[in-house]
Amino acid sequence: MPVRGVAIVLFLALINTAISWDRKWTYFVFAQQWPPSFCNDPSQMNHKCKGLPKPVKTWTVHGLWPNRGDVSVENCNDSWHFKWDKVKSLQKQLEASWPNLLEDTRPKGLWEHEWTAHGTCAASLEATNNEFRYFQKALSLNSVTALNPEKALEKAGITPSCTKAYSVNAIQKALMEYFRLDSPLKIICARQRHGRTMLKEIHMALSKTFNVTRMPGHSTSCCTPADEIYIFPISDMHCFQ
């Protein structure tokens, strides 16, 4: 068989494998993270956070994850390896909106992990059926005002500060109103070494047509309604450390 024919057969085999996984997941979790909280999270202290690259101005992508119920569907095709040349044209966008902030890890290691664990499962949809489309879709979602946590919080008067904290309920209320939901999104917190609780991530559920929908499962992680939550500014992300 000619080389081109072999390549086509292999590509079709990859797509068929991905399609077979489509029945195993029902929606996406779109996870966005606040970079200052990520770098102040004690769980990351065994790594070296290189600070925030100049292009990073707002919430960044953590991942776009196929889910079923409250369980992430992962590693759908171990033979479909990440190839940097497929997404190299997105490099500037990735560094600004989906950066690897840990300087003691492989620069492209985050993207490789996200593709292998989650992208191979998302490939069952035409909109995300290869490396380029998967990363491009997540980047485009992160740039849409309608899905921007910063805009949602700002609208409710919740802005980054080293000294002012907000309640979990106030944050959830702002997000639910902005995204027009009748149930909470999932928020992930982290505790700074000085004891302050930080808003680290926001997870929203997206349908397979990328519309915001109800998030199954628990609405908070590592914080409780009694906690006061800090959102440190990007311009002063360590806040008195």
Q: How many Cβ atoms sit within 10 Å of the Cβ of residue 74?
A: 14
Q: What is the mean pLDDT of residues 86-97?
A: 96
Question: Which pair of tokens denotes residue 4?
Answer: 């081109």
Can you tell me the distance from the alpha carbon of 29 to that of 186, in angstroms, rounded to the nearest whole number? 10
Given a cut of 90, whether residue 130 has pLDDT beyond it is: yes
Q: What is the mean pLDDT of residues 181-208?
A: 91
> Predicted confidence band at 84 (pLDDT cuts at 50, 70, 90)?
very high
SS3 199: strand
Residues of the chain with pLDDT > 70: what percent?
A: 87
Residues carrying an active site annotation: 62, 114, 118
Q: Which helix (H) or strand (E) segment is 130 a member of?
A: none
Q: What is the mean pLDDT of residues 107-128?
A: 96
Q: Which pLDDT score is estimated for 13?
A: 47
Q: Which pLDDT score is estimated for 233?
A: 94
Average pLDDT of every residue of the chain = 88
> Predicted confidence band at 103 (pLDDT cuts at 50, 70, 90)?
confident
Q: What is the mean pLDDT of residues 89-112?
A: 93
Can you tell me the distance from the alpha carbon of 7 to that of 137, in angstroms, rounded to the nearest whole number? 25
With a CB cutoff of 8 Å and minimum separation 6, the contacts of 34 are 59, 149, 198, 199, 200, 201, 231
Sign of the CA dihedral with 54 first, then 157, 175, and 211 last? negative
| DSSP β-ladder status, 166-167 and 60-68 | unpaired
With a CB cutoff of 8 Å and minimum separation 6, the contacts of 190 are 37, 38, 40, 41, 42, 43, 197, 198, 200, 222
Q: Which pLDDT score is estimated for 9?
A: 45
Q: What is the mean pLDDT of residues 96-120?
A: 93
Q: Which pLDDT score is estimated for 163?
A: 93
Residues of the chain with pLDDT > 90: what percent?
A: 65
Q: Which pLDDT score is estimated for 16?
A: 53
List pLDDT tens digits, range 17-29. Answer: 445 545 589 999 9
Can you tell me the distance from the alpha carbon of 137 to that of 166, in angstroms, rounded to the nearest whole number? 32
Q: What is the mean pLDDT of residues 170-196?
A: 91
Q: What are phi and psi of 239, to 5 degrees?
A: 45, 75
> Predicted confidence band at 134 (pLDDT cuts at 50, 70, 90)?
very high
Q: What are phi and psi of 220, to 5 degrees?
A: -140, 160
With a CB cutoff of 8 Å and minimum separation 6, the contacts of 151 are 145, 178
